[in-house]
Amino acid sequence: MEFLIDYGMFLAKAITIVLSIGVVAGLIASAGQKNKKGEKKGNIRVTQINEHIDGLRDTLRASILDKEQLKEIEKSEKKKIKAENKRKKKTTVKNTEGSDKDDSITKRYFVLNFEGNIAADAVESLREEITAILSMATKDDEVILRLESPGGMVHAYGLASSQLLRVKNKNIPLTICVDKVAASGGYMMACLADRLVAAPFAIIGSIGVLVQLPNFHRVLKKYDVDYEIISAGEYKRTLTHFGEITNKGKDKVKEDVENIHQIFKDWVKTYRPSVEIDSIATGETWVGSQAKDRYMVDHIKTSDECVIEACETSDVYEIKFEIKKPLQVKLANLLEESAHRLISRWFGKSDHDIYQ
């Protein structure tokens, strides 16, 4: 038991050191963030994926084909471009004479990427990217979201899902592609898609909610260590790391978890009405092909296939908002993340956070 006490003291010292460094770095970062008025939060970066794919193809052609073959291909492609431009010109003239629809307008695709962690930090960039897209996109365009997330905090993924609702509320088609995983909070986002695509072995599902934390009350009691919580409100604190676990506290947390689970189920059923919600909302996961059999996804293919298919007929743009972070902020974030991982490893997840 002496070893346990010594180890506990070591952990306490280590946490104190890490948190102290984090506080100092945070203060430095705060000072560095006092930027001039009007300074940009970040920058939007736009990449035309068509050009990237064409570049890959042209490099391969140049390495494999001889000059005569290359010349013939270039000649054929120039004819196609000339014919397409001629068609567009005729369509424009026709529309000026009274046609209701301008067929010369080419559908555009806007590609976004969301790499989710427990706190759904990527939502900070997602909200800016969607704001940029909505400033010019029409219902004739389409948004493709490449989504990867194992889930995390309910409130964080609720906000991320709300960003996707902004696209749907503008009647802009939304395709979501999952290559690896869209589980729990990740699936909360994914089920908003007008077309949900998953790779054959992508992990889909985990429609459930959990709360977990270690409790050291009996250890403290054994060594006559008092732990007091002063709060107002009957359920301001239910289960904590050091307080006594009571049936009343457990029952309240269980009630909260079940309520959130029901809301989660209702959300999925609203946006995926074809699913048998009670059979899939068990916390289980399935690979893409199994999820399709349960109507949890619409098609089995990779995001690469979706993007390349779009490039064959339309202009495709990848939109990425890069948040501007000074060196001090990057250092503070690194220390904060390290401290969070250390504390989570030792003490589990906070009783304030409910995870999906």
pLDDT tens track for 122-148:
999 999 999 999 999 999 999 999 999
> If you compute the radius of gyration of the chain from its CA atoms, what whole number of angstroms results?
27
Lowest-confidence range among 50-54, 75-79, 81-85, 205-209?
A: 81-85
* 329-351 mean pLDDT: 60
What pLDDT shows up at residue 212?
85
Domain that holds residue 27: 1-33+326-356
The answer as to whether 231 is a domain residue is: yes
* 168-179 mean pLDDT: 98
* Long-range contacts at 66-75 (CB < 8 A, ≥ 24 apart): none
pLDDT for 118 beyond 80: yes
* 308-319 mean pLDDT: 96
pLDDT tens track for 48-71:
999 999 999 989 988 998 888 888
**Given 75, 231, 236, 279, the catalytic residue:** 236
What pLDDT shows up at residue 285?
97
**Per the structure block, which two tokens stand in for 79?**
């004819």
Is residue 131 domain-shared with residue 185, that is, in the same domain? yes
Tokens 């009274």 belong to which residue?
98
The answer as to whether 128 is a domain residue is: yes
The answer as to whether 96 is a domain residue is: no
Is residue 194 domain-shared with residue 318, that is, in the same domain? yes
Is residue 218 domain-shared with residue 73, that is, in the same domain? no
The answer as to whether 91 is a domain residue is: no
% pLDDT > 70, the chain: 75
| Element housing 342 (H / E) | helix 327-347
Helix 123-134 to helix 154-169 angle, to the nearest 10 degrees? 10
Q: How confident is the model at residue 351 (pLDDT cuts 50, 70, 90)?
A: very low
The answer as to whether 90 is a domain residue is: no
Is residue 182 domain-shared with residue 140, that is, in the same domain? yes
The answer as to whether 49 is a domain residue is: yes
Is residue 27 domain-shared with residue 129, that is, in the same domain? no
Is residue 196 domain-shared with residue 230, that is, in the same domain? no
**Per the structure block, which two tokens stand in for 272?**
């995926």
Is residue 316 domain-shared with residue 331, that is, in the same domain? no
Higher pLDDT, 138 or 40: 138
CA distances from 101 to 93, 142, 251 (A): 12, 18, 60
The answer as to whether 10 is a domain residue is: yes
Higher pLDDT, 192 or 220: 192
Higher pLDDT, 13 or 197: 197
* 221-238 mean pLDDT: 84
Alpha helices in 33-153 (DSSP H): 49-64, 67-96, 123-134
Is residue 330 domain-shared with residue 264, that is, in the same domain? no
- Which 3 state secondary structure label does DSSP give 353? coil
* 157-179 mean pLDDT: 98
What pLDDT shows up at residue 248?
87
Is residue 176 domain-shared with residue 129, that is, in the same domain? yes
Q: What is the mean pLDDT of the chain?
A: 84
pLDDT tens track for 80-100:
777 766 666 655 455 555 555
* 227-256 mean pLDDT: 86
Is residue 191 domain-shared with residue 216, that is, in the same domain? no
The answer as to whether 166 is a domain residue is: yes
Higher pLDDT, 103 or 284: 284
Tokens 């962690």 belong to which residue?
117
Is residue 306 domain-shared with residue 171, that is, in the same domain? yes
Backbone angles phi, psi at 197, to 5 degrees: -115, 135
Higher pLDDT, 223 or 128: 128
**Given 125, 161, 184, 206, the catalytic residue:** 184
Catalytic residue check, 184: yes
Is residue 116 domain-shared with residue 60, that is, in the same domain? yes
Lowest-confidence range among 59-63, 192-196, 333-337?
A: 333-337
Number of domains composing the chain: 3
